[in-house]
Structure 1
Amino acid sequence: MKKFWCFMGLFSVLTLMLITLTSCGSSTALSKRDVLQADKKSNTITWGVKADTKLFGLMNVKTGKVEGFEIDLAKALTKEILGKNGKAVFVPVTSQTRMPLLRNGNIDAIMATMTITPQRAKQVDFTRSYFDAGQAILVKKGSPIKNVYDLNKSGKVVLGVTGSNSVENIGKFAPKARVLQLSDYAQAFTALKSGQGDALTTDNGILYGMSVENPGYVVVGGSFTKEPYGIAVNKGQKNFRNRLNKALTAVEKDGTYNKILKKWFSNVPGLNYKEMMR
C-alpha cells in the first residue's frame, strides 16, 4: 500500500509538470493533427486510464502494470484498429487530469470511467457507451444508511472525487448532505474507513470493486442515476471517433467484449454481470 501511495504521489507531481510544459501554444497544432493517421503510422494508441479503480483500472504494484476491464478493452480495440501487432500505451489519469492531458495531446483517448454528459460533450467528443453504470453509495456494513435519501438528514457527510459528476448528482438527491471531495478513489475510501464520511458515492461498478477488496463495506440502495461510460477524444477527430465506434461494434459481435466483461465482473457479489452483456 505504501508503494501504491508513493507511486500515486509521484505520478500526480509528474502529471502536473507534464500538463504545464505542454499546454502553452499547443492547441492550434493539435487541432490540425489527424490522431487516427498518426496512430496508424506509429502503430500505437495512447490511452488515458484509471490506475486507482479496482475492476476498471488498478496499478499492480508487483508488476508495475495497470490492470482491469478498461485496460483489456482498450487492448482489444487497439488490435481491432491497428492489427494484431498494434500497441496500446497506458497513461494513468485522474478525474481532474484526464481532460487537460487529452487537450494537450499527451493521450489520444480517455477510457477512464468517464460518464457521457452534455456538459463534457461541449469539450470533447464521445463514442457510444461501452459500459452502462449507475451512481450508488457505499457504506460500512451495519450502517443505518440504506439508500441515497437517508443522506439527506442533517449532518450527514458524503465522500466524492473532485472532477466527477457524482458530486453534482448528490446535490440533487440529497441536498442537505455535506459533500467532502477527495482527489481520487483511494483517498476517498480511506476517508470512509477513518470515519470522515457516512458514505462514499460514485458509479456502482467502481463501488463494487471497493467492496470486493473490502468485505466490510457494501453497496446499498441500488442505482439512482444512469451513467453511461464513453471513450473521449478531442474535438475535430471525427475519423478517430468513428473508427473507435466501429471497433467497439466488432469486439461486441465477435464475443471479445463479453469475455472481458465476464473476466472482471462474474465474481462480484451483488452484481449481475449477465445483464450487462452485449
Structure 2
Amino acid sequence: MNARRMRASLRGWGGVGAMAVVCALAAVFALLLPRTQPGGADGPTGGRGVAQGDQARAEACEKPEERSLAPSSGDLDGAAVQKIRKRGKLVVGVDQNSLGWGYRDPNSASNGSASNGSGSKDSASNGSDLKGFDIDLARAIAKDILGDETQIIFRAVPTDQRIPKIQEGKVDMVVRTMTIDCDRLKLVSFSSPYFQTGQQVLAPKGSGITGYDDGSLAGKRVCSAKGSTALEHLEADKADGTLPASTNIRTTVPNQLDCLVRLQLGEVDAVVTDGALAASQAAQDPTVQVVGEPFTDEFYGVAMKKDGADDLIRRVNQILEDYRKNGWQTSYDDHLKKYLGASSGPPEVAYK
C-alpha cells in the first residue's frame, strides 16, 4: 500500500530524477533495518514478520464461535452478575417481529401495550405476550440468575442497534438471532453458540431467482438489514466480484423484517438474511420462498459487554450447557420445527 501511494505521488515529479530519489531512500531503509529491527527480515515489523503477524491474527479468529470463556456455575460470580441481582431484573434486548424467534402473540391481552421498534420503551411487566425460541432462552437465563423467569425486562432492539445498546449499558445482554463473528468480537463478547444457520436468499415465487452464487441476482435489487452479517457478505462479495456487478445492494433497513415489507411492495427483488429467519418469513407470506443453499456457516450467541462482564459470560455459558440438554429441543419443537423441519439438536461447543 505504501509503495502504491509513493508511486502515485511521484507522477508530478518528472521521471528519472524522482525514481533516483526513491532508489536512494530504499537503500537507506535497507541499511537501517538490520540495526533497528533485531529480527532482521523476520523481525516483528518487517518481511515475513508482518506476514506471520497478519496470518496469526487471521488464524486467531478462524472459528469465532469457539472463542467464548469456559462456563462457571456460580463460584466465579462477580460484579456483573451481582449488579443484576441487586437490581432484581435481567434486562434483555430482543426482537418482537421475528416469527418463531421473538414475536408478540396477537392473542395476548397485553399485546401492543409496550416496547416500540427503537427499543426506547420497556415491554409491559415481564413481556408475557412475547414468544419465541430466543425469548425462551432469555427466560431461562433470568430463572437461573434470579430464581424467577418473570424477573425480566425485555427491550425491543432493532438489528442495527444491538451492539450500541450493549455498549451503552441499556441492556445486560442481547438474545436476538445474533451471529458470532470476528468483527463483532472486537466490540462485544459472546456466549458459546446456541444455534447454527447460514445466509440464504428469500425471493418471490416465479421470480427466476434460484440462489446466491448462481448469477440469478444479476441486475436485481437486494435488501438486507444494517448491521447484519448479510450486509457484510453482500458488500464483500460485491467488492471482490463474487456477486455480479449489476446487483444493487443499496437498500438497507434497520430491522430485518422491513426487508420482507420492501419485497412485498415490489421495491426490491430479493432479500438476503439468515436461513432460519428467511424460513419464518416465508411462512408469513406464501408468495415468497427460500431459494438456494446456505452460502455461509453461522452461529447465534448471546451478546454481552466486552469488558467487565466475564463472570456473566461464564454464567450464561453454564446456563447454556444445561439448557442444551434440558430445554433447547422443547423450545425448538414449540417455535421453529414447523418452519425449519426436524432438528439434529444444538451445535457442538468448544471454548478458547
Q: Same-fold call, TM > 0.5?
A: yes
The structure 1 residue matched to 2:259, chosen from 188, 201, 209, is 188
CA contact (8 A) 1:110 1:231 kept: yes
Residue by residue over 1:95-114, the C-alpha shift from the partner in whole angstroms, topping out at 9 and shown as x without a partner, is 22222211121110011111
Cα distance 1:85–1:188, how it changes in 2: closer, same or farther (>3 A)? closer
Which residue does 1:245 correspond to in 2?
317
Equivalences for 1:120-269 in 2 at 5 Å?
120-151=184-215, 154-171=218-235, 172=237, 173-176=242-245, 177-179=247-249, 180-235=251-306, 236-253=308-325, 255-268=326-339
SS at match of 1:260: helix
The CA distance in 2 between the partners of 1:151 and 1:92, in whole Å, is: 36
The structure 1 residue matched to 2:103, chosen from 58, 63, 73, is 58
1:206 CA displacement: 0.7
Question: Which letter maps to 2:275?
Answer: N
1:128 CA displacement: 0.6
1:133 CA displacement: 1.4
Equivalences for 1:35-46 in 2 at 5 Å?
35-46=80-91
1:42 CA displacement: 2.8
1:214 CA displacement: 0.9
SS at match of 2:213: helix
Residue by residue over 1:19-46, the C-alpha shift from the partner in whole angstroms, topping out at 9 and shown as x without a partner, is xxxxxxxxxxxxxx92211112233211
Cα distance 1:34–1:87, how it changes in 2: closer, same or farther (>3 A)? same
CA contact (8 A) 1:49 1:57 kept: yes
The CA distance in 1 between the partners of 2:343 and 2:219, in whole Å, is: 38
- The alignment's TM-score, normalised by the length of structure 2, stands at 0.65
Which residue does 1:26 correspond to in 2?
none
Number of matched residues? 243
SS at match of 1:74: helix
Which residue does 2:94 correspond to in 1?
49
User: Which of the two has higher C-alpha Rg?
Assistant: 2
Cα distance 1:86–1:273, how it changes in 2: closer, same or farther (>3 A)? same
SS at match of 1:58: strand
Q: Which structure has more strand as a fraction of its residues?
A: 1
Return 5+ residue gaps in structure 2 as ranges: 1-77, 112-128, 348-352
The structure 2 residue matched to 1:67, chosen from 109, 116, 131, is 131
The CA distance in 2 between the partners of 1:85 and 1:216, in whole Å, is: 38
